[in-house]
Structure 1
């Protein structure tokens, strides 16, 4: 057998190895995340429910889903352990103010790019509206027809038959 015939099999085996390796790595990270849960941690279940961990057992987790609502979940049903800031932002709508010391960005970006001179020039040019639109065909034909007409006689002579 030649190397050319073996190459597709080698590539296929390598791809399978890489896929199983990355899947095992993700699974190991999920197990570590679930083992790091502590009472008071905010979690999201694989079904999308947000709750606070009340008690962690060997294979189960008791969570507080609201006032007087305690639910028992299997540990592998926990999809993510959230940071306190993320849990408060999602569940309570509390935004953690990370930008309190930074400048406020205006809604209108033109204030970031215009200088005083260009703003004055823009204000002066606003006085006269500029028509950048295309004229209709009827307007162009009317203007052409008026230019082609002969001047009308004004001294009483007419081309009428007598």
Structure 2
């Protein structure tokens, strides 16, 4: 038989081997990471919740999701074990080397506009709007008459 006939099958078998091998490595790394769990460790679940490990069981782990609030999760739900400084930075916002070089953007745009208010609370821009002539856009007034366009 021809080698060209078997080439796609050889490539397919090789790709499947590589995929299962990388998946097995990821599972082993995740298992080792979960074995490092100790009470007091900061973790992130696969759902994105940050919590502190309180107790570790065979297949479960008790997490403190808020002060005094405990929840029981499967060990497989732990997505990452965090370093103490990273956990504190994310959860508590504590960081000594955090510097902000970008300007602070206000919550609303009203502070970006420079307008003064008079005693009645109306802004100067509102007073000027009544005094300015209206812009003619070329639309002519329709002649008065009946609905068909004719005049009486």
How many residues align? The count is 101
* Structure 1, unpaired ranges of 5+: 99-103, 108-162
With structure 2 as the length reference, what TM-score do the two structures score?
A: 0.62
Which residue in 1 is equivalent to 2:65?
65
With structure 1 as the length reference, what TM-score do the two structures score?
A: 0.58
Shift of 1:37: 0.5
Shift of 1:96: 4.8
1:9-34 CA-partner distances (Å, limit 9, x unpaired):
10110001001110111011111101
- 1: CA distance between counterparts of 2:67 and 2:53? 13
Taking a change above 3 Å as real, the CA distance of residues 78 and 37 of structure 1, as seen in their structure-2 partners, is same
Point out the structure with max Rg over C-alpha.
Answer: 1
Which residue in 1 is equivalent to 2:136?
none
Richer in helix (by share): 1
* Structure 2, unpaired ranges of 5+: 103-152
Shift of 1:97: 3.3
Give runs of ≥4 in structure 1 deviating > 4 Å: none
1:87-129 CA-partner distances (Å, limit 9, x unpaired):
011101112539xxxxx9x99xxxxxxxxxxxxxxxxxxxxxx
Query: SS where residue 47 of structure 1 aligns?
Result: coil
- 1: CA distance between counterparts of 2:71 and 2:29? 24
